[in-house]
Amino acid sequence: MVLASDIAMKAAACTTPDVTIPLGDHLQSEFTGINSFSSSTSFNVALTNCPAGMKSITYRIDPTTTVLIAAKSVVALDGSSTATGVGVQLLDGGGAVFPLSAVKTFSGYVTSTGGSYTIPFRARYYQTAAAITPGPANTSMTVTMQYL
Residue 36: the pLDDT is 98
Residue 124: the pLDDT is 97
Mean pLDDT, all residues of the chain: 93
Q: What is the pLDDT of residues 2-57, one digit of tens each?
A: 555 555 555 678 999 999 999 999 999 999 999 999 999 999 999 999 999 999 99
Domain ranges of the chain: 31-147
Q: Could you write out the DSSP letters of every residue in 37-105?
A: B---EEEEEEEEEEPTT-S-EEEEEEESS-EEEGGGTEE---TT---BSEEEEEEETTSSBPPTT--EE
Topology (CATH) of 31-147: Immunoglobulin-like (2.60.40)
What number of other Cβ atoms are within 10 A of residue 118's Cβ? 14
Residue 2: the pLDDT is 54
Residue 12: the pLDDT is 79
Residue 146: the pLDDT is 95
Percent of the chain with pLDDT over 70: 93
Residue 123: the pLDDT is 98
Q: What is the pLDDT of residues 81-119, one digit of tens each?
A: 999 999 999 999 999 999 999 999 999 999 999 999 999
